[in-house]
Structure 1
Amino acid sequence: MFSSLSLLWSTRKRILLAIGASLSGVVLAFLLLTFLAGQENNASNWKPASVAAPSTLVSQAIEQNYQDAGEKLDINRVRVLPINSKGDKLYIFDFNTPSLCGIGGCLYVVYTESGTPVLRLLLQPRLPKGVPLFTVAGNDKTQSGYPCLVVAQTINPNDNTTENNQSKTELLSKSLYCYSGSGFARFNSHVTELSRKG
């Protein structure tokens, strides 16, 4: 009787150990996938246009957006952020030239791999440390095979100092842009407060 109970307990113990090991493997795989998805979603890997996008697309983007008769745009200054998608790959162009910047910000254009411009924005490129200008929204946020994009911008309210003038408040806006048939459109936006000593 005692040996059969011992054998039964030993069998249950092995089953519990096997279940525990399986669950540990599943949890480890989930954590790894979450980490990799977070890495992919952090769209901060700008690269030189000459290596990040097809040369015909780079030429087209420069021709369509940079029209300064006095000076030719140096292709080595243009940066591109490639974004993988289920449809055409997306390429975000940063022309990185004062000629395409103004009071409203600098021009950023998103093209599909087939050469269709799908989003044009004037953005302020300076953001708080660790905040990327463009981020790919979660895997569940796609439209027509294209991932939605989150665009970050700082907002400086007119009255951004406290009574003792020791800290300044900045607002961080994050807007969600999703493909809407012929291009990307803003779907929503939310604002958070950033406090800075200064």
Structure 2
Amino acid sequence: MWWQQIWTKKKLTLVAIGAGLSCVFLFFLLLSLFVGAEKSNTTGWQNAAVAAPQELVRQAVEQNYLSAPEAATLDFNRVKVLPIKASKSKPLYIFDFNTPNLCGIGGCLYAVYTEDGTPILRLMLQNKLPKNVPLFSVSDKFNSGYPCLVISQLNPEKMNVRDPKIWLMKSLYCYSGSGFTLFNNSITEIAAGR
């Protein structure tokens, strides 16, 4: 009988230890899931004069907007920026110069800068996309302290007048030491009218 009491106490102790270890394991499992799935804080396109450091805005305009003598100077209040900030990454600033002088048949110029003023990606992109499809979004992948970017574009090679399907190409760009590099593309069909 006394041995039954000891055995019962041992079983309770073993159950308590097992439950405690299970809780610790579950805590670390949930923590790793949340850390890996962290999304950066993007607040949408904003006036660059308000949402980015002034010296960075000036530098980005100087490096990307070469006005002809007869062209009007660029109004800094028209420049938009998409600030990308996350707790585990360095900040990025994506500039939309919002001027026809930096647009052509291939789209309009978008430039990505680091906080210290280093240009790390420049692309001509079409900004006409279906609703709820952002031009730039942030991946849950990080490389060298920067989040990878997903850039969405309609795929003109798959467009057909007789075929009402809309094909969306998503390109993953990640930092590779001196700038962002295209890592992969994916093409998906989305419903027309979205």
TM-score scaled to structure 2, two decimals?
A: 0.76
Deviation at 1:62, TM superposition (A): 1.7
Partner of 1:165: none
| 1:155–1:115 CA distance, 2 compared to 1 (3 A) | same
Which letter does structure 2 place at the counterpart of 1:186?
A: L
Which letter does structure 2 place at the counterpart of 1:142?
A: N
Is 1:103 aligned to residue 105 of structure 2? yes
Which letter does structure 2 place at the counterpart of 1:58?
A: V
Which letter does structure 1 place at the counterpart of 2:183?
A: F
Which letter does structure 1 place at the counterpart of 2:64?
A: N
Q: Secondary structure at the match of 1:14?
A: helix
| 1:61–1:15 CA distance, 2 compared to 1 (3 A) | same
Amino-acid identity (%): 48
1:17 & 1:58 partners in 2: Cα distance?
A: 55
| 1:49–1:11 CA distance, 2 compared to 1 (3 A) | same
Q: Secondary structure at the match of 2:191?
A: strand
Structure 1 stretches of 4+ with a deviation exceeding 6 A read 85-88
Which consecutive unaligned segments of at least 5 residues does structure 1 have?
163-167
Which of 171, 181, 187 is the equivalent residue of 2:183?
Answer: 187
How large is the Cα RMSD of the aligned pairs?
Answer: 3.1
2:118 & 2:74 partners in 1: Cα distance?
A: 21
Deviation at 1:79, TM superposition (A): 1.5
Partner of 2:74: 73
In the alignment of these two chains, the number of paired residues is 188
How far does the alpha carbon of each residue in 1:21-77 deviate from its partner, in whole angstroms, 9 at most, with x for none? 323323443343345x1x21x756333212332212211222332326442322222
Which consecutive unaligned segments of at least 5 residues does structure 2 have?
none
2:54 & 2:106 partners in 1: Cα distance?
A: 29
Partner of 1:82: 83
Which letter does structure 1 place at the counterpart of 2:82?
A: L
TM-score scaled to structure 1, two decimals?
A: 0.75
